[in-house]
Structure 1
Amino acid sequence: MTYDAVPTATLASEATVVIRARFRIELPEDVWANEVSRSFPDATLRLLTGVPMGDGALELGEVRSESPAAVSDAIRSHSDIHGFDQLYGDDRRVISQYEATEQSLYEFLWGSSFPPEFPMIVEHGEMEFDVTATRDQFEDFGSALDESGIGYELLSVVHTDDRRGLLTERQRECLTEAHQRGYFEVPRECNLTELGAALGIDKSTASETLRRATDRVVAQFLLGHD
């Protein structure tokens, strides 16, 4: 695997370089998430967290769909799913906890030298996820993917020599709160007034802080520097 999007000159100081990449992999045909996502083309399955448990895994998952109840029922009734417990549901999404009898959904990541990052997104039989690693870890992970025979695509790669220096503390707090509250969802699940109230600032300050934070993140993503 290569990552030509990362200029060689900027990798001179390997000890401080952090690489953040987004991958898309093809799920095996017999994995329940592959079957369900292909049966419901409009659905987005979000694995919010998962931990190994015996030969399987305990997972917290979210369904987003025009008919989330139907997708949720398909997951509940799948032979690889047990102990299904719906925690939340409305006309757009369902959040559930369940036990999966196999770990194929993300077992490759558990075997890597760094933990998987959540959420993992499954659509149309493919899973997208982010990886944050040193250059050496990134290259090792890419080599392991190549050797595994898993079909994959490297969607994006960004590097920085200071993950904490990109945003101010206030910008980071505002951007994190906005993401957690669904400000960037379509449709939005919170507005600037609500975001400002959660942060203890007024609407205009929330708007300006969020705009500056978003601009810096986009610039880093597209250009690889501030």
Structure 2
Amino acid sequence: MGTEGKSSEGPAEATPDGVRAGVAIHGTGNCPVVAASNAHDGPITGVNWTHAGDTHTEEFRARDPDAVEDAEGVPSASSVIDLGSERVYRYDRPDDGACACRIIEELDCPIADARAEDGVLLLTLHLPDLERLRDVVSALDGVVERVEVRYLVHGATGGDELSDRTLVDRGRLTDRQCEVLRTAYRMGYFERPRDANASAVADALDIAPSTFAEHLAAAQRKLLEETLAGN
């Protein structure tokens, strides 16, 4: 029997209903990377881990080696490689089963990105649906102090053109960095040509121009890291 007139294409694949979630985990307790981030200037990034026998090994990147090496109350970190602007470290500790990342992975939820800042573990998760996010929060209940969903992005809704959606997590900015950005924006610092220069914005904030530049650079770096993540 011939196949003329029949399409060789199968049924169109349904658009997935997945979500991208940014989760902040407070009070992890037993995570040395999170503990070290309390003394670190800016986020500790590139956090990943592996398990061998009863040992849990965590690797991460830090811009401030002194903060990591002088951190109190955490295991001694071994330096792996110096990358110039960052240094890669590793911690080895017993695998006690109370690791927040390990608990999430046991739900068949890979962690897309992990970082630590100011004593908070910040994770990016790609989940098949909102129910799985509820599972994650429930599994961490009683193990950590608090789980905060900082942002939630749904995937494209279908059609020939897929949307490129990026939701910036303003929670990564300090209150002062938000104030600097807000004031600079309202005064027209980002307009072309500018309605206000750096000195004018700094005067409005009652800070030195050099301090304004530092806050602005730090805030822009965080926003760009979030916007360009995965690109």
TM-score by length of structure 2 reads: 0.53
Q: How many residues align?
A: 153
Instruction: Provide the residue aligned with 1:54 in structure 2.
Output: 53
Q: Report the secondary structure of 2:92's partner residue.
A: strand
The alpha carbon displacement at 1:79 in A equals 5.4
> For the Cα contact (< 8 Å) 1:37–1:125, is it kept in 2?
yes
Give me the whole-angstrom Cα distance separating, in 2, the residues matched to 1:78 and 1:148: 20
Greater share of helix residues, 1 or 2? 1
Q: For the aligned residues, what is the CA RMSD?
A: 3.5
Query: What is the percentage of aligned positions where both structures have the same residue?
Result: 14
For the structure 1 residues 41 and 96, does the alpha-carbon distance in structure 2 shift closer, same or farther, using more than 3 Å as the test? closer
Query: Which residues of structure 2 form unaligned runs of 5+?
Result: 1-13, 165-216, 222-226
2:107 to 83, 108, 112: 112
Q: Select the structure of larger CA radius of gyration.
A: 2
The alpha carbon displacement at 1:51 in A equals 1.4
Q: Is 1:121 the equivalent of 2:118?
A: no
Give me the whole-angstrom Cα distance separating, in 1, the residues matched to 2:73 and 2:46: 16
> For the Cα contact (< 8 Å) 1:87–1:97, is it kept in 2?
no
Query: Which residues of structure 1 form unaligned runs of 5+?
Result: 1-13, 168-184, 190-213, 218-226
> For the Cα contact (< 8 Å) 1:62–1:94, is it kept in 2?
yes
Runs of 4+ in 1 over 6 A off after TM superposition: none
Give me the whole-angstrom Cα distance separating, in 2, the residues matched to 1:149 and 1:86: 29
The alpha carbon displacement at 1:95 in A equals 1.7
Q: Is 1:166 the equivalent of 2:163?
A: yes
> For the Cα contact (< 8 Å) 1:47–1:59, is it kept in 2?
no
Amino acid at match of 1:56: T
Instruction: Provide the residue aligned with 1:87 in structure 2.
Output: 81
Amino acid at match of 1:32: P
1:96 to 89, 97, 111: 89
The alpha carbon displacement at 1:116 in A equals 1.8
Amino acid at match of 1:62: R
